[in-house]
Amino acid sequence: MTFQDIYTEVLSARFKSSQTASIKRWVNMREAQIWAAAEWPWKIVGPTSLAITAADDTPTIAADISSPLSVYDANGEPLWYYIQADFNDMNLPLIANAIQGTPGSYTWNNLVLTLSPVPDTNYTYTYTYYRKIAHFAAGGAITTGAMSLDSDYPIFDDSWHEILTLGALSTGLKVENDPTWESLEGEYTAMLGSMIDQYLPSVAVASNMQYGRDTL
């Protein structure tokens, strides 16, 4: 189903053409909700190359990154991840003393990946990451952002596209104070649960991210 197919189906259920803009927002809201509901396989990108330049501790990263999943050195070993405060405690003394070396840890803050220590030469690392919300454009190209063009369509399999119709219709009926929204919301929730069961393993697998050791 294209974006147009989805919002038109919701519109035809009981709404007026003057509400089309609102319906599109309802579809996009559910699109974002589904995206955030689980660690879907289509959210994960990589491994992909990470070019590191000498004396630059903030390498250029992909434009569609939401957050890093893991960073690996040239030997394939995962770097230690530190939250910002612990990273500062560990890294600032190195910077103050102009100490450089082979990066072995990193932090992530405000869409910036920072390595420590500051690299002493050029390296080629790899990383995996979660991408920002995305969809397919006409022709099948993955495009960052929620659907907006009529020819756009969801990034997940078309057998599950109806979940967006259910969700948007439930939202619209709730806005209209129609009590039948609750039954549709139940269908939406059940469908989301089934979707998670299909795409994700029943047993959670630990992330490859290594957390930094206590700096105390």
* Residues 23 and 56 placed together within one structural domain of the fold: no
Domain endpoint, select from 97, 131, 165? 131
Lowest pLDDT segment from 67-71, 121-125, 138-142, 204-208: 204-208
- For the residues 69-80, what does the mean pLDDT come to? 96
Q: Tell me, yes or no, whether 23 and 73 share the same domain.
A: no
pLDDT band at residue 207 under the 50/70/90 scheme = very low
In a domain, 62, yes or no: yes
Considering Cα of 29, then 108, then 213, then 85, what sign does the dihedral take?
A: negative
Is 98 part of a structural domain of the chain? yes
Q: How many CB atoms lie within 10 A of CB 122?
A: 11
Q: 168 and 183: one domain? A: yes
Mean pLDDT of the chain: 92
184 lies in some domain: yes
Using 50, 70 and 90 to split pLDDT, how confident is the model at 203?
very low
| pLDDT-above-70 percentage for the chain | 93
Domain that holds residue 65: 42-131
Whether 164 maps to a domain, the answer reads: yes
Residue 139 lies in a domain: no
> Of 135-144, 158-167, 192-201, where does mean pLDDT reach its minimum?
192-201
- Cα torsion 191, 195, 201, 204 to 10°: value is -70
| The predicted structure's pLDDT at residue 14 | 87
| Minimum mean pLDDT range among 78-87, 170-179, 199-208 | 199-208
3-30 CB burial, b ≥16 within 10 A, e <16: beebbbbbbeeebeeebeebbbbbbbeb
pLDDT surpassing 50 at residue 205: no
CA distances from 209 to 40, 95, 128, 213 (A): 17, 24, 10, 13
Please report which confidence band the pLDDT of residue 213 belongs to, taking 50, 70 and 90 as the band edges. Answer: low
